[in-house]
Amino acid sequence: MPSCRNYSPSQGTLRQKTLPAIGPNFGWQSRFTLLVWLDRAVRRLCTCIDCHCLSKSAKPFAGKDIVFTMPSVSVIVPHYNDPIGLDRCLTALEQQSYPRQDFTIIVADNNSPQGLDAIAAVIAGRAELVYAPERGAGPARNAAVAASMTPLLAFIDSDCVADPQWLSAGIAGLDHFDFCGGPVNVYVDGSQPWSSVQAFEMAFAFDNRSYVKKKGFTVTATLFMRRQVFDTVGGFRVGVSEDLEWSHRATSHGFRLGFVDKAVIWHPARSCWPALRSKWLRIHTELYALKPPTLAHRLNWLVKSCAMPISIVVHTPRIFTHPRLGTAANRWAAFRGLVQLRLWRLWDGLRLVFNQR
């Protein structure tokens, strides 16, 4: 049952907002909550009907037509402990070419240590703030979707910066696909030379075109869909590689995945080894958890882990041909990062296999 809390900085309170489940324990409180939701939906429907009638039949007033519109897109932004990145993300969303009155932004805060008042101050009226206490980006996205009422959904991470055409291009992609993603370009904060981690991320991180075309999933940092798709497939799950698992679940329902070249976002490169290791520790754990720890699964994982040193040789040419690495110093740094990470992935893969009982 989707649950979230709307935050009102002016009142300083949290208001529980839950969709009740109809069943044997459907008491008066659940009935009241359901009535509130139905009343809200009817009011919005009446507003849409009124707007349609006005746009069709209202006569000009003072030389201008009166036109009312309702947002058609909700941009979902999960957030945790990155107010600077969130501010940068919201600034880019405010500069979208898509008409501002046609989309709303919902930030789902995942219990950031700064507190809701501080996050509300960063948002500064640019978005609706929802409190999502269950840990994880997936539950935060689910909470934001539960708080939305638009027919179209767009997802972006709070540390990402969207190109001005991102939303327009992604929504246009839904004319051809049931859900879609776009390119994720990496950028580096600060001056060169880059660290080995920054250079590695520039060369290898977020190849979303390959993910969509070859692996059948899109990252959730740039994801577009109709609400019908989300309602059919269900929310994002915890403890697994959520973008991969959700995308595969969607395609198993017969929904078509696509890639939209112009729906571009920018993601900051991680700057140090602990940050990169933490990322891959999470990815390894979630990928391994996608399947039951059967003997066949463990053997398959063992083979892939032992192939990590070979992948260094296979992927080295990409470093020396990548156009954005530029200098020889950056290419050498990327090579060091490649070696360090692939050897660590060998060790961590073996840990996962042999720690299973």
d(CA 36, CA 45): 14
What does 116-168 look like in DSSP terms, one character per residue? HHHHHHHHTTSSEEEE--SSSHHHHHHHHHHH---SEEEEE-TT-EE-TTHHH
88-101, pLDDT tens digit by residue?
Answer: 999 999 999 999 99
In this prediction, residues 228-252 reach a mean pLDDT of 94
Which strands form 184-187's sheet, in the order they lie side by side? Answer: 161-162, 265-268, 184-187
The pLDDT score that the predictor gives to residue 140 is: 96
Which residues are within 8 A (CB) of 269 and not within 5 positions of it... i.e. 6 or more apart? 186, 187, 188, 189, 194, 197, 198, 201, 202, 205
Ranges 25-29, 57-61, 114-118, 331-335: which has the least confidence: 57-61
C-alpha 4: how far from chain center:
17
The pLDDT score that the predictor gives to residue 70 is: 66
d(CA 4, CA 14): 10
245-268, pLDDT tens digit by residue?
Answer: 999 999 999 999 999 999 999 999
Among residues 197, 193, 187, the alpha carbon closest in space to that of 337 is found at: 197
Q: How far apart are the first and last CA of the chain?
A: 33
The pLDDT score that the predictor gives to residue 293 is: 85
